[in-house]
Amino acid sequence: MKDAIEFKTSQMKALIKRRNVLNKKYDTTLPEDIPLEVKSELELIVNLLNEFDINQLIFDERPTMIGIKNSRDEEWYFQQMKYWVERHPNALNAKFSRSSVYKFALHFFVENIALNTNNARLNYSELAQKVNDANSTKSDSKLTAQLANVENLLGFLLTMQQRQLEYIPEGINLENGFVKYAINPINPTEFQQFGTPTELNPNNELAQSYEEYKKIRSRDKQLIKKYHQTGGQLDDD
């Protein structure tokens, strides 16, 4: 099991990083245009960060020993958990006492569900479905791979378009109509010798043009929304 202070520190850093990523991503988006799911996640992150610190009085008021009433049902559940721990001794560093098993279950739930933004918003039924639905996991993996492939293809097509625009016909012979073209730049030799710009490098014109296009598109989208909200009336500004 992880040390509480160590986990708290790492989880706080992860939550703050996630919050900053979302805030930066939607920095230029109108509040009403931010997806509800994103708003919900940001609100959850704020709540989790606020709940990290526990008042010392709460700890002082709690007993150091906690009694749990046992029953046949509870014993059955405990034994199943104990069998799992015995098959995976590294989870508890080979500690098989009843208190160690209960602590492990509590820590595991907090670390992987209560403080995990991907799981904390799910209710009991949704959590159970997520754990038990193997097909959903396979579908998610397939979708992730497909999106990655689409991203690569779009980047490649954008790069090719930029390269094509840099090579226009060198001239036309007016006597015979012959068009003189430069060597087609889309070939392995050109890439190997001279490289090519990508939309991922913010220092080249391709990436800068793409960023400006996204800004213009975002402004147009907001303008169209405002146009419909005002019944087709827009101010000159």
- Mean of all residue pLDDT scores within the chain: 82
User: Rounded to two decimals, what is the model's pTM?
Assistant: 0.48
What confidence tens digit (pLDDT) does each residue in 28-43 have? 888 888 888 889 889 9
Handedness of CA 54, 109, 40, 7 (dihedral sign): positive
Between 5-9, 130-134, 182-186, the lowest mean confidence (pLDDT) is in 182-186
Instruction: Determine the pLDDT at residue 20.
Output: 92
What confidence tens digit (pLDDT) does each residue in 197-218 have? 888 888 988 889 888 888 888 8
